[in-house]
Amino acid sequence: MADADDVKEEEKQEDSKAENTGEKPSSGRSLPWVIMAVVVVASAGAGFGLGRLFAGSRTSETAELAPQDDLVLAGGSAKNSKKTWYYDLEPVVANLDVPGVTRYVRATLTLEISRELEQKKGNALLVEKKPILTNWLTIYLASLSLGDIRGDKNLRRIQSQITDAFNEILFPDAKPQIENVLFKEFPIQ
């Protein structure tokens, strides 16, 4: 019991010193630090938990993908990668239809073409028709406003319209062979 009395006596002396010098007792100084520590730990725990919730575990996905050498991640499956081939178009620059301001877009496209069209014959056809495709694309992009280009829904609509038009230009009386138009770059200035 003598130890407890000594501790109480020391606390009283500290409190009286603090009152005489205008300082707060030592227990009052540590409270803000304790609160900050609790907030930091709680925030870190919440951030970790949310990260795990939204990110999920990547180890099972990568383990499943590793054995399949011919799997094309962009296409989604090995079966899909064997059905298409790709052709890169040269960049096209066009002024947008924005009154009072000079704005332009630079579009670099890749065509995803069906395997039904032999690659050698397809390349020859695309080289022959490239000026027509470039001209159509330039006029089409020049007809768009800034609002027509912004946003993912608008970009998907543009991809679809370009795909349809290119198929009509290249294969007017045949089955469409261009499956998709991919944007390599699409900066707006």
Q: What is the pLDDT of residues 29-57, one digit of tens each?
A: 777 676 766 565 555 555 554 444 444 44
**Is 98's pLDDT higher than 80?**
yes
Q: What is the mean pLDDT of residues 2-19?
A: 57
- Within a 13 Å sphere around the CA of 54, how many CA atoms are in the beta-carbon half? 5
Q: What are 168's two structure tokens?
A: 């009509």
- Within a 13 Å sphere around the CA of 86, how many CA atoms are in the beta-carbon half? 11
CB 94 within 8 A of CB 187: no
pLDDT of residue 42: 57
Q: What is the mean pLDDT of residues 132-140?
A: 97
Question: What's phi and psi for 100, nearest 5 deg?
Answer: 80, -10
* Sequence-ordered alpha helix ranges (H) in the chain: 2-21, 26-55, 59-65, 78-81, 119-142, 146-149, 152-170
pLDDT of residue 83: 83
pLDDT of residue 31: 74
How far apart are the C-alpha atoms of 71 and 79, rounded to whole Å? Answer: 8
